[in-house]
Amino acid sequence: MTSTVVQLWDRYRASNPKARAETPISFHFCDNQEDADLCAALVVRGQKRATAPSVAELELAGDPVPRVGDYSIVTDWAGHAVAVIQTVSVEIRRFGEIDEEFARAEGEGDLTLEWWRTAHQSYYENVLAGSRHKVNADLEIVCERFEVVMNA
């Protein structure tokens, strides 16, 4: 955890005294620097308001499925905090059930479902490589929507 993560959470807590004392998890989107930094910027700009990890990748990493009300700190690839977000909804859908509206909420690429499916299939294949999990229409996806509660 970088000092910018702690500093941003402390700043958030100063304006929201009921927020818990412990710093929430911090993370970057994606599995490469270019995309992670782009997604961090999209969050700050207000374009990216959703994310979609697979249930399988969360299980492999030992991470819990997010819950409504959870706070997280989004970072860039280098770990510098860019925003505090709060989860506003969580729905588990199959890969083949993701719709155009959710693809737009993710705020990436050209905002189409076609772009979303192509990019995410590649991402899931990469993060699930070597595991027993297969990327197909039945892969369970955690459709998490969030709001930015503070930018860095």
DSSP string, the chain: --HHHHHHHHHHHHH-TTS-SS---EE-SSSSHHHHHHHHHHHHHT---EE--BHHHHHHHTPPPP-TT-EEEEE-TT--EEEEEEEEEEEEEEGGG--HHHHHHHT-TTS-HHHHHHHHHHHHHHHTTTSS---STT-EEEEEEEEEEEE-
In this predicted structure, what is the pLDDT of residue 139? 98
pLDDT of the chain along its 152 residues, tens only? 689 999 999 999 999 999 999 999 999 999 999 999 999 999 999 999 999 999 999 999 999 999 999 999 999 999 999 999 999 999 999 999 999 999 999 999 999 999 999 999 999 999 999 999 999 999 999 999 999 999 99
In this predicted structure, what is the pLDDT of residue 2? 81
In this predicted structure, what is the pLDDT of residue 97? 98
Question: Which residues partner with 84 through β-bridges?
Answer: 73, 150
**Domain segments of the chain as ranges:** 3-151
Sheet holding 71-75, edge to edge: 26-27, 71-75, 81-94, 140-151, 50-51
Between CA 9 and CA 88 the distance in angstroms is: 18
In this predicted structure, what is the pLDDT of residue 125? 97
In this predicted structure, what is the pLDDT of residue 50? 98
pTM of this structure: 0.94
Count CA atoms within 13 Å of residue 67 on its CB side. Answer: 3
Please give the backbone phi and psi of residue 80, each rounded to the nearest 5 degrees, phi first: -80, 125
CATH superfamily of 3-151: Sulfate adenylyltransferase (3.10.400.10)
